[in-house]
Amino acid sequence: MDTPPVGPGRRRRHTVTATTAPLLATPRVMAGTAGAFYVAGGLVAAAVVLGTGPGSGPARAGLAALAAAALLTGVALLRWGRHLPRRAFHGVVLLGTLLVTAAVPLCPTPASALAVTTVYAFVGIDVVFFFGWAQGAGHLVVLLAAAAWALRDREGVTPGVLLALALVCLVIAAVVGLLARAASGADHDGLTGLLNRRGFDQALDRAVAAAGPDGSLAAALVDVDHFKAVNDGDGQGAGDRLLRELAAQLTTALPRDAVLARYGGDEFAVLLPGRCGREALDLVEGLRAGTRTVAFSAGVAHLFPGESGADLVRRADAALHAAKVSGRGRSRLDDVGSAELARDLSEALAAGDVRAWFQPIVVPSTGELVGVEALARWTHPLRGPVPPAEFVPVAETTGLIVEMGAAILADACRGARTLREAWGRDLLLTVNVSGRELVRDGFAEHVHDVLRATGWPADLLVVEVTESLLDGSTGTALRALEDLRAFGVSVAIDDFGTGYSAFSRLDTLPADYLKLDSGFIAEITTSPRRAGVLQALLSLSHALGLEVVAEGVETPEQADLLTGLGCPLAQGWLFGRAVPPGELAAAGPAGAGPAGDRLAAPRPSLAER
């Protein structure tokens, strides 16, 4: 029988089986924990070596070798351990037990041997943190047997001492294991008493399963308007009181079968079983209108047949974004047409049907191809080619842009490698990156992993970010760009000239390339002032070490003027539209010039360029 969704006043019991590891034990956390303990154990052994007299002979050398092995293993785990599969950490733990067991007999005194034996506690913490209780108990048995063997002939180490060491190790391991499982199982928010995001996600999965293929289910995301101003103006205490007040009002006003959660920060999530989108919108709008002391915006979506809970929440988030953009203080129902397109786009991404096509980047004076920009292209099985101007905004508002960006980056690197091998020469590859991708945890490392997997050199990749994104970017986004540049990846400021561009900011932007917006280029042959601004910008960029790329070049006159002004790089319909990598490879690196057959081809629409 299906378990009913958890309501505001009902607490679901968290169950952990003997084979379940704590949810906190992700490969990244496991690698960091094990690496830190290996380094600590190596330092303990090194301290014993330093306190040992030079005449200790082979035992001292052996202990030093074990200390070095532990330190090197710890550094390797900290650097690369997150890529290990979960089962590999059984080997990591057993290796730690082996190193400690080998080190103890080499210690010159009973006191130093006992000091090294304390490192077993690190291994004990690992086993209860990384694995379920049953597997952890097996590792602990091995660990205690190894400790008893290592200390068997030590003077002054009595059975009572061994028992005390075993008890300390077991108690530490048990407490850490219980705390890790308690933290993993916590599904309620400490401030409001509501479900937290984890608890809501669990309730969402059950609600989707209970709704079935023909059932009704709606979700709403509620965001407090101008919450930052409350925190900044009146202090965090006032913000906390406001959140508790809103939580209490929503709990009282919502139907008994609704699920309410604090989704994060100043955002709340609501599940409304048995309700369609319009009915849920009316209910949420009634809540909004009736909540006089706290103003909020809301986005609502209803479940489509075959849709996942994550898709439902993503569309509610898109509706919330639309409500906030349109002025806040309102509720918005997710657009059905966009929802259907988002669902099809999600399926296309899963199937690998969204591909990277390449538009040439050339030297405008010769048409020589020196690089390509990767542009997302999608052919729908029924609708045919879907314009990027239609599906990219849907990807942005629904959060699919992160998945799409990852797919395009990998596909573009593979395609560019094909070009490089076919032509026997290097070329730049530029790939657009969204703000959502930049603030994603570990984005720079993800790019590095893709480069390593595809074999594309970091120094030939350029990530493009818009000037407006940098204007409103967070520290996380800027750090991601700096991390990328540290890997050898270059950064381009895209669409420069569309907003409040300022020459004075160019020396502070974390960039290597400047891409001038097509709207700026469109007027350079008709506006002497615009041409003068371009000339000044080229001179300043050259002085700052920025390479300029002129986008949207469509006429020979524009190309001639850019050549006369000394613009080094250009792209646009004149030099070639975006095509599949195979087609560009067949044309060859000289196939991007402003040939007559290109000028005779039908002009693409703005959405296609």
CATH number, domain 354-599, options 3.20.20.10, 3.40.50.720, 3.10.20.30, 3.20.20.450: 3.20.20.450
Q: Residue-wise over 173-212: b if at least 16 C-beta within 10 A, else e?
A: beebbeebbeebbebbbeebebbbebbbbbbbebbbebbe
Closest residue by Cα to residue 425 from 416, 433, 415: 416
pTM above 0.85, yes or no: no
For residues 245 and 193, the answer to whether their CB atoms sit within 8 Å is no
Q: What is the DSSP letter of 492?
A: E
Give the closest residue to 556 by CA, choosing from 519, 589, 596: 596
DSSP secondary structure letters along 208-274: HHHHTTT--EEEEEEEETTHHHHHHHH-HHHHHHHHHHHHHHHHHHS-TT-EEEEEETTEEEEEEET
CA 445 to chain centre: 9
Q: Which SS3 state, helix, strand or coil, does residue 97 take?
A: helix
pLDDT tier, 488 (very low <50, low <70, confident <90, very high otherwise): very high
Instruction: For residues 393 and 338, give the distance between their C-alpha atoms in angstroms, rounded to a whole number.
Output: 10
- pLDDT top residue among 549 and 598: 549
Of 465, 469, 460, nearest to 489 by C-alpha is 460
The answer, yes or no, to whether residue 9 has pLDDT greater than 70, is: no
Q: What is the pLDDT of residue 512?
A: 92
pLDDT the model gives residue 609: 38
**161-215 residue pLDDT tens:** 888 888 888 898 888 878 776 666 567 777 888 888 888 988 898 898 888 766 7
Spatial CA neighbour of 334 closest among 347, 321, 348, 324: 321
Amino acid identity of residue 92, one-letter, is V
297, 320 Cβ separation under 8 angstroms: yes
Q: Which of 31-40, 227-236, 476-485 has the highest mean pLDDT?
A: 31-40
* Residue 142 burial (CB count, 10 A): 17
Mean pLDDT of the chain: 83
Which are the contacts of 569, defined by CB distance < 8 A and separation ≥ 6? 361, 362, 363, 364, 370, 371, 547, 548, 549, 550
330-357 as b/e: b if 16+ CB within 10 A? bbbbbbeebbebbbbbbebbeeebbbbb
Pairwise CA distance, residues 507 & 540, whole Å:
10
Contacts of 289 (CB under 8 A, 6+ apart): none
Indicate whether 42 pLDDT > 60: yes
The most confident of 155-164, 389-398, 403-412, 427-436, by mean pLDDT: 403-412
The pLDDT score that the predictor gives to residue 132 is 82
DSSP string, 534-558: HHHHHHHHHHHTPEEEE----SHHH
pLDDT, tens digit (0-9, with 9 covering 90-100), for 20-38: 566 567 778 888 999 999 9
- H/E/C letters for each residue in 13-66? CCCCCCCCCCCCCCHHHHHHHHHHHHHHHHHHHHHHHHCCCHHHCHHHHHHHHH
DSSP state of 328: S
DSSP string computed for 430-454: EEE--HHHHTSTTHHHHHHHHHHHH
Round to whole Å and give the CA distance between 512 and 236: 40
Neighbours of 407 (CB within 10 A): 20
Which among 269, 233, 265, 231 is positioned nearest to 6, based on CA atoms?
Answer: 269
Q: Is the pLDDT of residue 597 over 60?
A: no
Query: Which residue matches tokens 């849920």?
Result: 280
> How far lies 8's CA from each of 183, 251, 312, in Å?
20, 7, 20
Which of these, 334, 355, 339, 332, lies nearest to 307 by C-alpha position? 339
Least Cα distance to 511 among 484, 551, 474, 540 occurs for 484
Q: How far apart are CA 537 and CA 529, in angstroms?
A: 12
User: How far, in Å, CA of 322 to CA of 320, rounded?
Assistant: 5
How would you class 44 by CB atoms within 10 Å of its CB: exposed for 0-12, middle for 13-18, buried for 19 or more?
Answer: buried
Q: What is the pLDDT of residue 484?
A: 94
Structure tokens at 76: 């390797």
**Sheet of 259-264, strands arranged across:** 259-264, 267-273, 217-224, 296-302, 331-333
- Report which of residues 606 and 289 the model is more confident about: 289
Question: Among 379, 382, 14, 22, which Cα is nearest to 184's?
Answer: 22
CB 180 within 8 A of CB 24: yes
pLDDT given at position 353? 95
Delimit the CATH 3.30.70.270 region(s) of the chain: 197-334
**The pLDDT value given to residue 596:** 34
- Can you say how many angstroms the Cα of residue 66 is from the centroid of all Cα atoms in its chain? 37
Q: What is the mean pLDDT of residues 444-461?
A: 96
pLDDT tens for each residue of 119-161? 999 998 888 888 888 888 898 999 999 999 998 888 878 888 8
Q: Which of 182-191, 526-535, 570-579 has the highest mean pLDDT?
A: 570-579
Q: Which fold has domain 197-334?
A: Alpha-Beta Plaits (3.30.70)
Where does CATH 3.20.20.450 sit in the chain? Answer: 354-599
- 50 band by pLDDT with thresholds 50, 70 and 90: confident
Note whether 575 and 360 are within 8 A (CB).
yes
